[in-house]
A and B are shown apart, each in its own frame.
Chain A
C-alpha cells in the first residue's frame, strides 16, 4: 500500500509537479499585489460626483428620440452627463448617449477622451499617446464597442480606456494589472483568453493533481512516527538505545546512542554515520543496506521486499531507512562507511 502510494505520488509529481509549482507561484504573486494598485484606484481622482438634477431646460420626450435607437431598447434613462442632459439608451449590444435637447447621438472624440482621462488620473505622469481600439480585447475584455486608450508616462504605465460612444471610463490598466493578468493566465491555464477557468486543460490537470494531494496526505501519516515529536516530551522521558556499529575496514566497533523509536537511517545520519544513499532515506534507491548481527531479524516491509534480494534478507540485510531504532542492536555496515562518514 505504502509502496503503491509512493509510486503514485512520484509519477503524478513528475507529470504535473511543474504546474503545481506554477499554481503556488502565481497564487503568491497575485495575493502579494495590492488590489488597490492593480485596479488603478490608487491613482484615480475620486470624483464623488453627486448626481445633478435635470434642471429647468426644455427637454425631448423619449418618443422624440431617433426610432432606430429605440428599437430593441432594454432601458432608457434621462440623466446628466458632464453637466449636460442626455438620454442613455441601452440595448442588447451596448449603450448609446443621446443629447436630450437635440436628439443627436453623442460620441466621444479623441480630445474629449483625453480630457476625461486626464480628469480621472491623479498619478505622476503626462499623457504620451492616445490610441483607438475595439473592445473586447485583452485589456478591455469586459466591455463592448469602440474605445480610446489614453496612455500615461507614469512609472506604472497607466492606460485609461474611455468608451468612444458614451465617454464612460471603461478600465484603468497599469503594469501591476498586466503582471497580475499574466500570472492569472498561468494560474487558470487559459493561455489565449486569460478568462475561462472552466477549460478542459485545467480540468484535466486538476483531476490529476488531486491525486498528488491525496497520496501525499496519506503518505504524511506513514512518514511520521511518535519519536519525531520527541521535543514534546520532557528530557527525562526521552529513552535512548545503544547501536553498536561494525565496519570491516575499522578495528574498533563504534557505539552511538540514538533516540528510541527514531528512524535508523536518519538518526545515524544526524550522528555522523552517513550510509550510502541517493534518495536520502525515501525507500527508493535501496542503497542504505545494513546487516543485523543477531537473529531474529526484524521484519522486512514491502519496500525492503522489493529492494533487498531474498538471499540477502535471509542473512539479516535490511534498509536502514525502513528500520527503527527500537532497541539496542548491533549492525554491520558496508566497508568504509565509518571512515568516510567521520
Chain B
C-alpha cells in the first residue's frame, strides 16, 4: 500500500498535467480582468456629451398631437437630444423615425455623413474617423446581441475604437476598442465557452473546475507534508 503522501504527490502531478494549462489560463486571464479597470474596458473615457438635456419645444412648433395624427399606430413618441439639438423620435409597431421638431422632416435612416458626425460629437479623442460602414447583416461578434442595422464608425486612434450608431434614432448604441476586445477574448478563455463567450454554465468548464478543485486540494494537502518534512529535518539537524 502506497503512503498517502506518495499518492497525493502523484495525483497532484498527473492532475497538473491535465488541468495545469487551464489553471494558468484562469490565473492569467483573471489577472488581466482585475488589473484593467472595468470602466476603461467599457470605454467610459472615450465618450462625452452622453447626458445632454432636451429642450421641450414650444407648442406652436410641431406638437405631439400632430404627430399622433400623422402616425396613428405610434406606440411611443419621445424627445431626445442629438448633437446638442432636440429631436422627436416616433416608434410604431414596425418602424422607428427621427424627426426635426420644427419642420417635421424625417431624418432617419441617418446616412454616413450624419453617423460620422454623431460619432465625432461623442468621441473624446482627436483621431480622425477612418471608416463608416452600415452593418445590415452578419454582425461582428462584438455586437452580436444588438438590433441591426447599425453604423460602425472606426477611429484611427491607438485603441482601434469603433462606435456603433443606430441609424433610426442617432443613439450611440455601444463602443468597442482594443482592450475591450482583449477582455472579451480572455473572458472566453476564462469561462471556456468558445462559441458564444457568454455561457458559464457549460459542461466543459464544470469538468475542468472539478478537476482543478481536486488539483488544488492535493496541492494544499502536499503543503502539509512538505512543511512537516522541513520541520522534522531541522530538528534532526539540531540533534
A interface residues, Cβ below 8 angstroms from B? 10, 13-14, 17-18, 20-21, 23-25, 27-28, 30-35, 50-54, 58-59, 61-65, 70, 72-80, 91-92, 188, 197-199, 202-203, 206-207, 209-210, 212-214, 216-217, 220, 223-224, 266, 269-270, 274, 277-282, 284-287, 307
A13 CA to B229 CA, complexed, in Å: 16
B21 touches A281 (CB 8 A): no
A220 to chain B, nearest CB (A): 5
Q: How many residues of B contact A (CB 8 A)?
A: 76
Known: A21-B213, A21-B217, A279-B5. A77 touches B76 (CB 8 A): yes
A209 touches B216 (CB 8 A): no
Which of A73, A203, A212, A214 meets B54, CB within 8 Å? Answer: A73
Q: Which residue of A lies closest to B9 (CB)?
A: A280
A266 touches B6 (CB 8 A): yes
A59 touches B76 (CB 8 A): no
Bitwise, B187-220 to A at CB < 8 A (1) or not (0) is 0000100000001111001100110110011011
A331 to chain B, nearest CB (A): 18
- Given contacts A198-B34, A279-B229, 19 further A-B pairs with CB under 8 A are A10-B226, A13-B220, A20-B219, A31-B200, A61-B64, A62-B57, A63-B58, A63-B59, A75-B78, A75-B79, A220-B13, A266-B10, A270-B2, A278-B229, A280-B6, A281-B6, A285-B226, A287-B229, A307-B233
A50 CA to B93 CA, complexed, in Å: 9
B212 touches A24 (CB 8 A): yes
A72 touches B53 (CB 8 A): yes
A78 touches B56 (CB 8 A): no
A213 CA to B212 CA, complexed, in Å: 12
B218 to chain A, nearest CB (A): 11
A216 CA to B26 CA, complexed, in Å: 14
A62 touches B56 (CB 8 A): yes
How would you classify the secondary structure of chain B's contact residues: helix, strand, loop or mixed?
A: helix
Residues in A with CB closer than 8 Å to B17 are 220, 224
A34 touches B53 (CB 8 A): no
A217 CA to B26 CA, complexed, in Å: 13
Which of A23, A32, A282 meets B222, CB within 8 Å? Answer: A282
Report the tally of A-B residue pairs with Cβ distances under 8 A: 216
* Most chain B CB inside 10 Å of its own CB: which residue of A30, A197, A274, A282: A282
Residues in A with CB closer than 8 Å to B143 are none
Instruction: Answer whether residue B73 sits at the interface, using C-beta atoms and an 8 A cutoff.
Output: yes
A51 touches B24 (CB 8 A): no
Q: Which residue of A lies closest to B77 (CB)?
A: A78
A324 to chain B, nearest CB (A): 16
A74 touches B5 (CB 8 A): no
Instruction: Answer whether residue B63 sits at the interface, using C-beta atoms and an 8 A cutoff.
Output: yes
Bitwise, B34-77 to A at CB < 8 A (1) or not (0) is 11111000000000000111101111000111001000111111
A311 to chain B, nearest CB (A): 14
Known: A75-B54, A206-B31, A281-B9. A59 touches B78 (CB 8 A): no
A76 CA to B55 CA, complexed, in Å: 10
Residues in A with CB closer than 8 Å to B206 are 28, 31-32
A271 to chain B, nearest CB (A): 11
A227 to chain B, nearest CB (A): 13
